[in-house]
Chains A and B, each alone.
Chain A
Amino acid sequence: MTTHISKAPGAGTPAPRTTLLRAITAAGGLATVASTFLAWTWTSDFPGDLTVYGYPGGLQVLTLALGLATLLFAVAALDVRGLRWLTPAGSTAALRLLALGAFATTWFTLLAIAVDQGGLVNLEPGGWVAAVATAVPVATAFLLTDDTRPVCRPRQLPSWADILIIAAVFALGLYVVNYGIQTDEDNPEPFIGYLIALCFAAAAFLKAGLITRLSGLTSTYRSLTLVAALVTALVFPFTQDKASYTELGVNIAIFATVALGLNIVVGLAGLLDLGYVAFLGVGAYTAALVSGTAASTIHVTFPFWAAMLAGALASLVFGVLIGAPTLRLRGDYLAIVTLGFGEIFRIAVSNLDGTSGPSVTNGPNGVPNIPPLEIFGFNFDDEHSFAGFTLDSNSNYYLLMLLVTVIVVLIFSRAGNSRIGRAWVAIREDETAATAMGINGFRVKLIAFALGATLAGVAGTIWAHVQTTVVPEQYVFAGPVPPNSTFLLAAVILGGMGTIGGPLLGAALLFLIPEKLEFLQDYQLLAFGIALILLMRFRPEGIIPNRRQQLEYHETGQLDVPDQAALSGSAVGVTKAEA
C-alpha cells in the first residue's frame, strides 16, 4: 500500500521507468485508436461494417472508446495539467482495467470474425494491427506499480460546472444505454462486445475514483440529480428509432418497478419472499377480468383508474391473507412457505376453469384479447402527436409505466426513511432486540409484505394491458422468460438489496441480456445460477451497494476508519461470522 501523500496527487517525480511505462501505455492507446480506422476484415457478413478504411464501425467503436479512454488515463497518469481530475484514486488500476477491456473487446471481435467466417484468413492486416496495439498497453499497465490512494477532496468548482457535469453524465448514460439497447438483436456479437467493454470501463472508473467523485456530486445536488434522471428517462422513447426498442424499455420499467416493490420486502424488512410473482399475477388477472374483454367471465368494463385500484386492492388482500399466517415464521421457513403460496396461486388459477373448479379465469387458456388502455379518452394503442413529437403505442405505455416507477421510487424512499422503515431495518438486523424495543414485529412485517404486494399488483394491471393476454404459466417460480419469482429476486440481489438504483439496474440487465443473446435462452437458468454464485463470491452486496450492506460484507472501507479505506481495494471479503 502506498503511503498517502497529502499534497496534490502525483506530487514528487516518479521514477523514469514509471514515466516510460506510462508513455508506452499512452502510445498503445493511441495505436489502438488508430487501428480502429483500419479495416479488420474483408467481408461485410460480420455484423457491423468492419471493412472500411477511414472510419470505425460496429465493434470497432467499442475498441475506439476504450482505446481513447486508455490514452486519456495514461496521459493523466503522466501528470499532464488539466487531466488529473480523471484519476483521483490512482491511475494504475484503472489503466490496467481499461487496457484489459480494449484488449478483450478487440480480441473477442477478431476471434469472432475468425470463428464465424471460418479461419484467421478473414482478418485484414488492420485486424492484426489492432491485436498487437491492444496487447501493448496491457503488458505495460501490469508492469506499473500500484498507486492506489484514498480519494482526495475534490477541488471546488463553480456550481454551474457541477451541474453541467451531472447533465453530461446523464446524457452519456443515456447514450451508453441506448447503444446497448439498439445493438443488433439478430447477432449476439455486438452485444457481447458491448457487455465486455461496459464491465471493464465501469470497473476502471470505479477504481479511478470517478464513481466516488460522482456520487459525492450527486448527493450535493440531490434534487437536481433526480430531475436529471427523470428527464433522461422521459427522453428515452424519443431517442429510439425502432418500436421494439421502446418495448424493451416498457418491459424493463415494469420489471424494475416490481423488483423495487420486492426490495421493500427483501431489502428493507429482510423477508425472503420466493412467491412474489403471484402478486403481479393477482394484479394482472384482476385487470384482465375487469377490462371488458370478451374472454372475461365477469362482463364488466372498469375505467383504467378503477381497474388499477381493483388490482392493487386484490393484491393487498391476497398479500395480507398470505402474510398473516406465514409472517410468524422466520428465515428459511418463511421462504419455503412463500414459495409454496406462489405455486398455489398458479395452480389455483389454472384450475378455476369451470371443470376443475368454478369458472373464473379460463384455466390454462388464460384471458386473451385484453383491450388497449384508455385513460380519459386517451387510447394507448393509437399514435398521438404533441408539439411535433409522435408517441406510438410503446411510448405511451412507457411514459405511463415511468409515472408508476416514479411513484414506487417515492414510496420506497419515503417509507424507508421513516419510523416504519427504521422498524423494518431493525427487524432485519435483530428481530428479538427489535421486539424488545417495542416494535410489533408481526404488524410491521405484515405492512411491508402488504405494501410490496400492492405495488406488484399495480404494475400487474399495466402488464396485463401491455401483454394483452394473461396466462397462468407466466407466473412460475423459475422459468426462461421473465417475470418469475427467481428473476425478480435475482434482480434485487444482483443490483443491490435495500437500494433504489439496484433493482432498477438489476432488472434492466437481467431482462436485456437474455433478450439480446438469444442463444442463451436455453441456458438462462444455468447462466443465472453461475452469475449469482460469482456475485456472492466477489460482490455479495450487489452492483449498487447499500451502505449498510457493504459494511456487513466488507469489514474495511468504512468512514470511521479512514486509514483502512485503502484496503478495500484488495477485495478481502471478510464475511460476517454471525451472518
Chain B
Amino acid sequence: MTTTTVAQAAPVLTATGVTMRFGGLTAVRSVDLDVHPGEIVGLIGPNGAGKTTFFNCLTGLYVPTEGRVAYRGTVLPPKPHLVTQAGIARTFQNIRLFANMTVLENVLVGRHTRTKEGLWSALLRGPGFKRAEAASKARAMELLEFTGLAAKADHLSRNLPYGEQRKLEIARALASDPGLLLLDEPTAGMNPQETRATEELVFAIRDTGTAVLVIEHDMRFIFNLCDRVAVLVQGEKLVEGSSDVVQSDERVIAAYLGTPFEGEPGAEEAAAVEAAEARTEEDGQ
C-alpha cells in the first residue's frame, strides 16, 4: 500500500517557516512542509494542534504572520480565489457545499477558475459560450462519474447522504484541475466501509497525478494511505517521515497518549494538566 516510490521532482508545495499568530496566541509556529508531485502526505496531530489553521494559511484564507508558501516555486498570493486559480483546491472539515444547488451545479462552480465566460458572453450566448458551457458540463459529469455521483447529478446537494456530500466536496475541488488537493478530515463521521471507499478515491486521485495533503484523525486511514506523515503538536511540527517512523516515535505517542507518570500526582501536576487543557481548548477555537 505505502510502497509508492516518491518522485524526487521539484515539490508542488513548499511551505517554509509558516507561523500564524492570533494576538498573543501562536496557533502555528514555524512549520516547514514540502509536498512532491504524485505524493500523498498526511498531517496529523491532537485536536487543536493547528492543522486546520495551517491549511487556512496554505489556501489564503489566513495570511500567515511569518513564512512563505509557494506552489511550484511561485509564492502564493494571500487570496483564496487566487490560490485556487494557481492550482491548490481544498475541502472543508465541516462540509461547506452549496446546499441549495444541484450536485452538477456544485461541480460547475468548481470549474469557475478554468473557464472565462463573463457577463457579456452570457448575455449574447454566442457559439463560444455554448461550447464552453458544454465543455464544463462534460468535465463536471466526468468528475461525477469518477466519484460515483453521476446518477445523482440533478439532486440538490443538501439531499445527499453524508458520505456522498464528502465525495461531492472532493469532486467540486477536483473541478478546478488542481495540482495539489488539500483534504481536511475527509472521513470524519464515516463508517468503515465509507472510509475504505474514500481511501480508494484518494489513491485514484493520486494516480491522476494530483498530489494530496490530508488532515485526518483516523490513524489506520492515514497510515494506509500516506507516503509521508507529518505530526503537528501545539502548532509545531514534531516529526515527519514514513508511517513506521511516525508510529514508533515516542514523542508522537506522548503527544497523543501522554507520558507514563511515576508516583502519585500532586496538586502542582494537576494544575499543570488543567492549564495545558485550557490552552488546547483555546487553540481549537
Contacts and interface: CB of A to CB of B under 8 A. Distances in A.
B54 to A, nearest CB: 15
Contacts of A559: 155
A437 B119 contact: no
A429 B105 CA distance: 12
Interface stretch (B67-75, B106-114, B234-242, B276-284): B106-114
Contact of B115 (A419, A437, A451, A552): A419
Contacts of A429: 98-101
Nearest to B157: A429
B59 A436 contact: yes
Interface stretch (B11-19, B34-42, B79-87, B221-229): B79-87
A548 interface: yes
B127 to A, nearest CB: 15
Contacts of A438: 81, 84-85, 110, 112-113, 176
A440 B156 contact: no
Nearest to A417: B122
A441 B100 CA distance: 19
Nearest to A410: B123
Contacts of A561: 159
A418 to B, nearest CB: 3
A439 interface: yes
Given A433-B96, A551-B100, A560-B159, A418 B109 contact: no
Contacts of A551: 100, 156, 158
| Interface pairs A-B: 5 shortest CB-CB | A438-B113, A418-B122, A438-B84, A433-B96, A548-B100
Nearest to A418: B122
B84 A419 contact: no
A430 B84 contact: no
Contacts of A89: none
Contacts of A399: none
Given A419-B112, A422-B105, A447 B119 contact: yes
Given A438-B113, A439-B113, 17 more contacts: A414-B123, A415-B123, A418-B117, A418-B129, A420-B117, A422-B112, A425-B101, A429-B101, A432-B80, A433-B92, A436-B61, A436-B80, A436-B89, A436-B90, A447-B118, A552-B100, A560-B156
A434 interface: yes
27 contacts: A418-B121, A419-B133, A419-B136, A422-B105, A422-B109, A422-B112, A425-B100, A426-B98, A429-B99, A429-B101, A433-B96, A433-B97, A433-B98, A435-B79, A435-B80, A436-B80, A436-B89, A437-B81, A437-B84, A437-B172, A437-B173, A438-B112, A438-B176, A447-B119, A552-B100, A558-B156, A560-B155
Contact of B96 (A430, A439, A441): A430
B109 A434 contact: yes
Contacts of A441: 81
A532 B263 CA distance: 69
Give the size category of A's interface with B. Answer: 20 to 34
Contacts of B99: 429-430, 552
Contacts of B175: 437
Contacts of A418: 117, 121-122, 129, 133
B159 A558 contact: yes
Nearest to A451: B119
Contacts of A435: 79-81
Given A411-B123, A447-B119, A437 B100 contact: no
A164 B85 CA distance: 52
Contacts of A419: 108, 111-112, 115, 117-118, 122, 132-133, 136
Contacts of A425: 98, 100-101, 105
B131 interface: no
A426 B123 CA distance: 19
A421 interface: yes
Interface string B9-48: 0000000000000000000000000000000000000000
B109 A437 contact: yes
A222 B80 CA distance: 40
A383 B176 CA distance: 59
A561 B112 CA distance: 30
B4 to A, nearest CB: 28
Interface in B152-191: 155-156, 158-159, 172-173, 175-176
A173 to B, nearest CB: 29
Contacts of B115: 419
B225 to A, nearest CB: 23
B109 A439 contact: yes
A413 B174 CA distance: 28
B92 A437 contact: no
Contacts of A439: 81, 109, 112-113
B109 A423 contact: yes
Interface in A429-458: 429-430, 432-441, 447, 451
Given A411-B123, A422-B101, A437 B112 contact: yes
Interface of B: 59, 61, 79-81, 84-85, 89-90, 92, 96-101, 105, 108-113, 115, 117-119, 121-123, 125, 129, 132-133, 136, 155-156, 158-159, 172-173, 175-176
A561 B152 CA distance: 13
A440 B81 contact: yes
A435 B77 CA distance: 14
A551 B99 CA distance: 10
B131 to A, nearest CB: 13
A551 B156 CA distance: 9
A451 B122 CA distance: 13
Contacts of B173: 437
A480 B117 CA distance: 43
A415 B96 contact: no
Contacts of B84: 436-438
Contacts of B90: 436
Nearest to B173: A437
Nearest to A447: B119
A145 B85 CA distance: 60
A415 B119 CA distance: 7
Contacts of B158: 551
Contacts of B79: 435, 440
A421 B96 contact: no
Nearest to A415: B122
A423 B101 CA distance: 11
Contacts of A560: 155-156, 159
A430 B98 contact: yes
A552 B158 CA distance: 10
A410 B124 CA distance: 10
Contacts of B61: 432, 436
A559 B103 CA distance: 14
Nearest to A425: B101
Most buried by A among B80, B92, B132, B175: B80
Contacts of B123: 410-411, 414-415
A435 B62 CA distance: 13
Nearest to A560: B159
Nearest to B123: A414
Interface string A260-304: 000000000000000000000000000000000000000000000
A122 B110 CA distance: 70
Most buried by B among A438, A441, A559, A561: A438
A128 B97 CA distance: 61
A429 B98 CA distance: 6
Interface string A539-555: 00000000011011000
Nearest to A407: B123
Most buried by B among A419, A433, A451, A559: A419
Nearest to B91: A436
